[in-house]
Chains A and B, each alone.
Chain A
């Protein structure tokens, strides 16, 4: 598993551009004033899957976050319904 050496703070837009369409594990999250959008963070992991990172997030009680970088580009949803 790749852990970023000497991780540094990046804005979320740069994180999305640098690591498109992957789950990233981030720490030291700073939020925009609206409270619902990540302003910047430190990327710690880039090649763990969503499950591994989500488990780390739950274990950390929120100090570590698992986020998919560019969810607008994947998985057309809607009408998830009964068969």
Chain B
């Protein structure tokens, strides 16, 4: 089983990590279904994102809001490489704490541990899974959206 560890920012009570070459911040939200980009949409283009030309409504404790569906290409988090990762861009969230919100669905079928005692986020990749992954947000016939994340 392969493993990688990212460090949590111990200054905060919620699990926040810095990742990538530019040290962008992400909130690990294990209650989230969709990954979210919280900043203006045009910045996503700098991160190899392309528009899917779809608008999605979603909800949380903050109520209902809307976002635009984008696909990030070759997006890396630790040892994971998402050749494609669909993400909702929503810059209407009030005072988001980080540029990204990472959802539970990004880590489907992986073994992960948020260790708030030692401020680590450990991810184990089982033998039958790859670190190369693909996350798609798919529209169903009834108009709702589902998330599928699998080894590529």
Contacts and interface: CB of A to CB of B under 8 A. Distances in A.
A13 B101 CA distance: 23
Contacts of A29: 23
B8 A36 contact: yes
A62 to B, nearest CB: 4
Given A37-B119, A50-B38, A82 B9 contact: no
Nearest to B31: A78
A72 B22 contact: no
Contact of A36 (B6, B33, B146): B6
Interface size class of B (residues with CB under 8 A): 35 or more
Contacts of A55: 40, 43, 46
Nearest to A36: B7
Interface in A1-56: 12-13, 16, 21, 29, 32, 34-38, 50-51, 54-55
Interface string A50-83: 1100110111111001111001101111111111
B60 A77 contact: yes
The listed residue with most B CB atoms (<10 A of its CB), out of A34, A54, A55, is A54
Interface in B96-152: 96-99, 101, 103, 119, 144-146
A54 B34 CA distance: 21
Contact of B10 (A16, A36, A65, A83): A36
Interface of B: 6-14, 16-18, 21-25, 27, 29, 31-34, 36, 38-40, 43, 46-47, 56-62, 64, 91, 93-99, 101, 103, 119, 144-146
22 contacts: A32-B10, A36-B17, A37-B119, A38-B11, A51-B40, A51-B91, A59-B46, A62-B22, A67-B25, A68-B25, A71-B97, A75-B94, A75-B96, A75-B97, A77-B32, A78-B31, A78-B60, A80-B32, A81-B33, A81-B34, A81-B60, A83-B144
Interface of A: 12-13, 16, 21, 29, 32, 34-38, 50-51, 54-55, 57-62, 65-68, 71-72, 74-83
